[in-house]
Amino acid sequence: MQRVILLSAFLGLVATVPGWAQNQDSGPAARNGEITIPSEKILERDAVTSPKDGFSTNDATAIRQMEQQNQQIDRKVIKGICTDC
């Protein structure tokens, strides 16, 4: 009995997982299996967008910004932990 239940659960998953993969949003749908090539404007926009973490694309500047952020976090943690400091 337990085998039947496990087998039916497994087959249910096997049947539904491919449907989930097809429902993922992958941008505009192509018609009739056509391949869409992004425009030059879209490619440039994607290549030039700023990083999502808010740090500079310049390594030296980004390192300085991360160090400043670390110091701010440290100050907040010390204020929250040590009330007599």
49 alpha-carbon distance from chain centroid: 15
Which ranges constitute the DSSP H helices of 1-85? 2-22, 40-48, 59-81
Is 1 or 18 the better-scoring residue by pLDDT?
Answer: 1
Between 25 and 29, the more confident residue is: 29
Q: pLDDT tens across 2-25, in order? A: 887 877 777 776 777 666 555 555
pLDDT at 68: 92
pTM given for the model? 0.35
Six-digit token string for 5: 């239940």
What is the rounded CA–CA span in Å between residue 17 and residue 24?
Answer: 11
- For 42-80, the pLDDT digits (tens) are 877 776 665 566 777 778 888 888 899 899 989 888 888
User: What per-residue confidence (pLDDT) applies to 34?
Assistant: 79
